[in-house]
Each structure stands twice: as structure tokens, then as C-alpha cells.
């Protein structure tokens, strides 16, 4: 279940995309479930924040971020094998908590209280160590924050415009840049072994910026861009010559 959690704005959150993937549901189904929950009670709206992500075609699509309460409320409404597993894990967690509380009953003698104190201290030390390890793991493996995602998107856009021959080029003005965006997206996901452009981990941000800076379309697409720009340019020159 740790794969669901990401760090964003110093909060532990998850997204509708990750929920859809974990529970083997279509993203539109999860989105619809969230909207239905928010419509039923104004308190629920605070558990979900609408945002966007970039799909495999380079288009922005809607999604939701949600906190633990929003995730729990949403998941409890799901059915199926994955949802049942999630609910059973919650039941197990509650049982463990009750057991821990019972174990904290105060002993009678000073020796017993000292032994209990040492036992509790040892448990706390282990928990702190586990938390520290999880924080380090999340720091390295959590997804890009909004600033990094924006910087990467801007770098990608600049690179695509450059590959088209500039914003004033005929290829770009004829709105053929989608083909370049698509090829960049495929190459990017292949290079970093990710299913979606926006699922890149923070630890690879610098490498991703370097990849974007050094990326170029393949030979076939480069020739297409050159031909389109050259053909239209030659046509304009021919028209000027005829006008004279």
C-alpha cells in the first residue's frame, strides 16, 4: 500500500490515478466516485483537491489529490478483491492497536515498571528508525513536486519548438508539433522506464532535464521537419520571383 502514497507540500497524499491503478479501475470511474462523494457533503470536498496531469499524448487531463481520510472514504466504497484486501488490512491494524493498548497496563512492582519502560523505549527506538528510513525512501522515490513538474514541462516545450525550427517556423505554425511532442514522450518514458510522463521520481529530475536538453527527433522526423520548412519557404520565394 506504500506505493499509493506520495509526498506533496509536506503532506502524505495519493492521487486518483494511483487509486485507479491499485484497485484495477478505470480512472474515469474513480473520478466519478470522487465527484459523487463531494456532492453529498461539503466536508468531503476538503479531502480532495482537483489538479491535472499530462497524458501519454502530451495533453493535460483532470485528476484529484486526496489525503488519508479522502482515500479511506473512497476505498471503502469499492468492491472486489483489491478493495477487500485493503479493508482487511485496516481491521488488522485496529486489532494490533487494541493489543498494544492492553499491553500498556501498568505493572505493580518498580522492577516490572522499569522492565516495561525499557521495553517501550526499545519499541519507540525501532519505530523512529523505521520512520526515518521511510522518510529517506519517500524523499528519493516520491514524484516530482509542482515546481519541478512545471520546469520539466517548460523545458520539453522549448525543446520541441526548437526541434520544429522555432516558433515562427512553418512546421510549428502548421500545428505539426504534436508529432514531435509524441515522439519526445515515447523516448522519455522509454529512457526512464515510466508509464506516464508525470510519474517521474524526484531523484531523476536533474537527469531528466539533461535528457530533455540533449534530445532530438529521429532522422525520419528531422527530415520531415526540414522538408516542410524548405518546401513552403521555396514556394514563397517562387511567388516573389513571379511577382517580379
pLDDT (tens digit, 9 = 90+) per residue, 95-135?
565 565 566 555 555 655 556 556 655 655 565 455 455 54
The pTM of this model reads 0.43
HSE-CB for 82 with a 13 A CA cutoff: 11
Q: Minimal CA–CA distance to 179: which of 148, 218, 147? A: 218
Name the residue ranges covered by the structural domains of the chain: 2-95, 106-142, 146-243
Residue 223 DSSP code: H
Largest interatomic CA distance in the chain: 111
Q: Minimal CA–CA distance to 49: which of 60, 40, 30, 62? A: 62
> Hey, what's the cell of 162?
526548437
Write down the pLDDT at residue 181.
92
- 2-95, CATH topology level: Arc Repressor Mutant, subunit A (1.10.10)
> Hey, what's the cell of 174?
502548421
Identify the bridge partners of residue 65 per DSSP, sorted by sequence position.
15, 49
CA gap 219, 120 in Å, rounded: 65
Confidence of residue 224 (pLDDT cuts 50, 70, 90): very high
CA gap 25, 35 in Å, rounded: 16
pLDDT (tens digit, 9 = 90+) per residue, 45-97?
888 989 998 888 888 899 999 887 888 888 878 776 666 776 666 556 545 65
Cell 519557404 sits at which residue? 233
Q: Which residues make Cβ contacts (< 8 Å) with residue 182, sequence separation at least 6?
A: 57, 58
The answer to whether 195 touches 141, Cβ cutoff 8 Å, is no
Amino acid at each position: 500500500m506504500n506505493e499509493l502514497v506520495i509526498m506533496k507540500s509536506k503532506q502524505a497524499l495519493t492521487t486518483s490515478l494511483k487509486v485507479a491503478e491499485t484497485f484495477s479501475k478505470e480512472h474515469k470511474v474513480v473520478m466519478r466516485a470522487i465527484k459523487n462523494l463531494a456532492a453529498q457533503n461539503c466536508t468531503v470536498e476538503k479531502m480532495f483537491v482537483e489538479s491535472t496531469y499530462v497524458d501519454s499524448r502530451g495533453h493535460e487531463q483532470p485528476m484529484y489529490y486526496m489525503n488519508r481520510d479522502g482515500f479511506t472514504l473512497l476505498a471503502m466504497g469499492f468492491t472486489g478483491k483489491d478493495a477487500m484486501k485493503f479493508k482487511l488490512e485496516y481491521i488488522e491494524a485496529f486489532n494490533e492497536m487494541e493489543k498494544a493498548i492492553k499491553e500498556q497496563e501498568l505493572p505493580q512492582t518498580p522492577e516490572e515498571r522499569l522492565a516495561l519502560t525499557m521495553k517501550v523505549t526499545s519499541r519507540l527506538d525501532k519505530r523512529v528508525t523505521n520512520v526515518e528510513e521511510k522518510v529517506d525512501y519517500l524523499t528519493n522515490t516520491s514524484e516530482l513536486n509542482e515546481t519541478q513538474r512545471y520546469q520539466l514541462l517548460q523545458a520539453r516545450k522549448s525543446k520541441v519548438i526548437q526541434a520544429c525550427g522555432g516558433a515562427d517556423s512553418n512546421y510549428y505554425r502548421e500545428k505539426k508539433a504534436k508529432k514531435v511532442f509524441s515522439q519526445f514522450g515515447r523516448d522519455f518514458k522509454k529512457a526512464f522506464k515510466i508509464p506516464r510522463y508525470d510519474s517521474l521520481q524526484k531523484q531523476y529530475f536533474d537527469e531528466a532535464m539533461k535528457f530533455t536538453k540533449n534530445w532530438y527527433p529521429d532522422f525520419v522526423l528531422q527530415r520531415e521537419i526540414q522538408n516542410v520548412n524548405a518546401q513552403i519557404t521555396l514556394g514563397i520565394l517562387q511567388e516573389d520571383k513571379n511577382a517580379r
